[in-house]
């Protein structure tokens, strides 16, 4: 692959880098695994020759409203389907967090507020 968006975390970043073609780019932006660092990180051993690694850690305010609206419109039209594992009431947020931490969810966890 020529490009990859790494959303899981540092524990799988080396695999993603190895799966990326020479002159390809990996953008590291996610920490779903709650693994925040690579122990004894040695870039020459982790980043393959010719593969670029970049990162993005911005805020939602960095995304133009029009770009966000395009995604919302695609989801609403059913053209960008999202898998929802379960919808929780706000009072069930502790259970939603437990499911997330245990890695039991297949898809998004939604918590209704109000």
pLDDT in tens, 2-53: 889 888 889 889 999 999 999 999 999 888 787 888 889 999 999 999 999 9
Mean pLDDT, all residues of the chain: 88
For residue 15, give every residue at least 6 positions away whose Cβ sits within 8 Å of its Cβ, in sequence order, or none: none
pLDDT attached to residue 95: 92
Distance, CA of 85 to CA of 104 (rounded, Å): 9
Task: Indicate the pTM of the whole model.
Answer: 0.57
């Amino acid at each position: 692959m020529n490009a990859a968006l790494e959303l899981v975390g540092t524990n799988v970043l080396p695999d993603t880098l190895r799966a990326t073609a020479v002159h390809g780019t990996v953008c590291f932006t996610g920490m779903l695994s709650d693994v925040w660092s690579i122990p004894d990180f040695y870039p020459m051993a982790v980043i393959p020759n010719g593969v670029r690694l970049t990162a993005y850690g911005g805020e939602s305010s960095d995304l133009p409203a029009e770009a966000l609206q395009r995604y919302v419109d695609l989801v609403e039209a059913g053209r960008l389907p999202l898998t929802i594992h379960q919808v929780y009431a706000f009072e069930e947020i502790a259970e939603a967090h437990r499911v997330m931490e245990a890695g039991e969810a297949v898809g998004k966890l939604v918590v209704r507020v109000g």
